[in-house]
Structure 1
Amino acid sequence: MGAVRFFILVGLMCGLFGESHGQLDNIYCGRDNCYDVLEITRDATPSEVRKSYRSLARKYHPDKNKDSNAEEVFQRLANAYEILRDEESRTDYDYMLDHPDEMYGNVYRYYRHRVAPKVDLRVVVAVSITIISILQYLNGWQRYNEAIKYALVTPQYRNKAKQRATEQGLLDNIRKGKKSKDEIRQDEEAVLRKVVEESLDIRGGYSKPSPWNILWIHLVLSPYYLTCYLLWLASWHWRYSIKRQSLTDEDKEYLSWKLLKLSQSRWEALQDHEQEDILEREVWIPENLKAYTQEKEDEAKAKLAENSRYKQYRRYMKKNGPGRMTFED
């Protein structure tokens, strides 16, 4: 938009310059009439405009016409056709012919059409949303594969997966037949990966991506989501603000992760015992929330104080921090 305004400003300046000289040489066909250039009338249809241009273009094409002014005539024809073939540009040109005294408006409309984006904004938005959705889906698969790879190289999860695969007899047929060590290892990794994908409960941002979570689907279903939210909000107000009912287990979970400033995915990524501890502490009650938050802050400070790197950093700041007096540069 900044570039558009810049060019429009330039056009207006050109218009001011042209007005001072009483000319319109810088816009449309200049001193010529575009209809006269194409040898048509103002009521000519688009097909007649196109037919006349093709006929004259063949006549004055520099490759066929060797006259010295053929190239100049051909350029004027192309410029006139470019103006009259577009409905919006032709309308602006007709308006200028009928209202030649409106210099500023005519110059503005000319440069607005010249520098305006040729692509429909709706197409740009749709393509942008599509690209974002594709990248979002691919990124989800990348994070999910990272979680699976981490589980396969972590002894705790790998040993459990190998034990389960052995109990189910999934590794019995791997070593049968003539296979190289690399092929056996690849087959074993494929079996273990399948076991991990089926058994490991991966939640949060590393969970298996679903097409239902991409941006396009959310935008399409946004009216449905908005309706559901409004109904839920009305139901919440009716149950707890008016009827004063007791909280359900689902609503307790919602209030817990909401008041702790966690996203739903981060809440789902917590271990079961962590969720149970939070629910038992009843953090939706303000006093309990304050006590729980303070307790977690104290635990974080205690862990940080025991960290060797943090101790080293504190010693460094004590010796080399802002309060140190030195003659060094």
Structure 2
Amino acid sequence: MRLTWKTVICTFFCVASSLPDDGLIGGLYCGHENCYDVLDISRDADKAELGKAYRKLARKYHPDRNKDPGAEEKFLQIANAYEILKDDEARRDYDYMLDNPEEYYAHYYRYYRRRVAPKVDVRVVIAGVITFVSVFQYLHRFWRYRDAVRYLLEQPKYRSKAIEVAKSKGLMDSIRRRKRPKEEIKAEEEAILREVIEETVDIKGGYSKPRLVDVLWVQILLSPFYIFKYFYWLVMWQWKYRIKGLDYEDEDQSYLTRKALKLTQTQWESVGNEKQIEFVQKRLWIGENYAAFIKKQEEEARVKNAESSKFRRYRRFMKYHEPGPLMEAE
């Protein structure tokens, strides 16, 4: 059968004309029975009266006590009515349905939205997600830090220095005194060298040692302090450098240089102290100095490319060969 707009409209009005006018809808709440009548209470009954009426009827119609036909069905109906009316939000929706029976589809929506809605508190879900992210964040930093230590341990430069430090501190003396398998001795030596590297080498940037203060949970808990600290820094910055006109301090010069180069804190730390000092001395936060610095960088890159063998081969090719069809099209 072909579905037309006329058919849809006729079906809608037929359904709407058959809707109940007593506020009771089959399949919702207590069906065609009034929940208050099922428990034999008024709509003004409080929770104490509701509980008292439920216990009285439950004892009367409980299947273990009442063996009459229909007692079990009546007991389930009483329990269902009590579950609806004891919940404040469900009772409010039910009362609204009784007072506004014409909003048929809205009652269906409210009822099934409550039935299928998750029962878990949203705050618990948010806390769980933050906890998961925090644990993953810490473990990820720990794995990166472990990889960095392993890489330094494999480099001859750092390994030889670690051996020298371990010998100077006498950490290697007690390892070979006892006769043990070579694998066990080697594992203990590696553990000592790893500990020496962790103590002597300052690993910065994205591979730095993980700290609890960097995880999301702690950052959220400390956010009021960070907000206060930021506004205090902003006020002091305006007071010292905008109002009083003082020269930038070393730490603030480093901050301005990092911002001028568009580097994150991690990238800035990975540059190294010597390069940081060199960039700060150029006063790159001043527009003219930054433009001159960029121009010099581009010139150095051009000279470097010109001196490279790959670029020279490309220039010789372009000089002695005709451009191809694709190059002509360009």
Same fold (TM over 0.5): yes
Of stretches 286-295 and 211-220 in structure 1, the one that deviates more from structure 2 is: 286-295
Gaps of 5+ in 2: 1-11
Q: Deviations over 1:137-186 (max 9, x none)?
A: 11111111011011111111111111211122111111111210000000
CA 139–65 in structure 1, closer or farther in 2 if over 3 Å, else same: farther
Kept in 2, the 8 Å contact 1:49–1:85? The answer is: no
Q: Indicate whether 1:203 and 2:200 are aligned.
A: no
CA 140–111 in structure 1, closer or farther in 2 if over 3 Å, else same: same
Kept in 2, the 8 Å contact 1:83–1:90? The answer is: yes
1:47 corresponds, among 36, 46, 51, to 51
CA 195–204 in structure 1, closer or farther in 2 if over 3 Å, else same: same
Kept in 2, the 8 Å contact 1:38–1:80? The answer is: yes
CA 56–206 in structure 1, closer or farther in 2 if over 3 Å, else same: farther
Match of residue 18 from structure 2: 21
Q: Quick one: which amino acid aligns to residue 323 of structure 1?
A: L
Kept in 1, the 8 Å contact 2:257–2:280? The answer is: yes
Provide the C-alpha distance between the structure 2 equivalents of 1:228 and 1:215, rounded to a whole number of angstroms: 18
CA 284–71 in structure 1, closer or farther in 2 if over 3 Å, else same: same
Q: Deviations over 1:224-276 (max 9, x none)?
A: 11111111111111221122111111110000111111111221222111111
Q: CA deviation at 1:292?
A: 2.2
Match of residue 280 from structure 2: 279
Structure with higher Rg: it is 2
Q: Indicate whether 1:151 and 2:155 are aligned.
A: no
Q: Indicate whether 1:59 and 2:60 are aligned.
A: no
Match of residue 7 from structure 1: none
Provide the C-alpha distance between the structure 2 equivalents of 1:142 and 1:303, rounded to a whole number of angstroms: 37
- Counterparts of 1:157-168 in structure 2, within 5 Å, are 157-168=158-169
Kept in 2, the 8 Å contact 1:39–1:52? The answer is: no
Q: Deviations over 1:69-124 (max 9, x none)?
A: 67765654554344233221122212322443444554443233223332222221
Match of residue 140 from structure 1: 141
Q: How many pairs does the alignment contain?
A: 303
Provide the C-alpha distance between the structure 1 equivalents of 2:111 and 2:175, rounded to a whole number of angstroms: 74
| Helix, strand or coil at the partner of 1:186 | helix
Provide the C-alpha distance between the structure 1 equivalents of 2:60 and 2:262, rounded to a whole number of angstroms: 72
CA 129–71 in structure 1, closer or farther in 2 if over 3 Å, else same: same
Of stretches 203-212 and 97-106 in structure 1, the one that deviates more from structure 2 is: 97-106
Kept in 1, the 8 Å contact 2:58–2:78? The answer is: no
Gaps of 5+ in 1: 1-14
Provide the C-alpha distance between the structure 2 equivalents of 1:304 and 1:205, rounded to a whole number of angstroms: 31
Provide the C-alpha distance between the structure 1 equivalents of 2:208 and 2:181, rounded to a whole number of angstroms: 34
2:326 corresponds, among 316, 319, 323, to 323
Provide the C-alpha distance between the structure 2 equivalents of 1:263 and 1:57, rounded to a whole number of angstroms: 72
Structural RMSD (CA): 3.6
Match of residue 173 from structure 1: 174
- Counterparts of 1:1-329 in structure 2, within 5 Å, are 19-23=16-20, 24-38=25-39, 41-42=42-43, 43=45, 45=47, 47-48=51-52, 51=55, 54-55=58-59, 58-59=62-63, 76-77=77-78, 79-103=80-104, 105-299=106-300, 306=308, 323=326
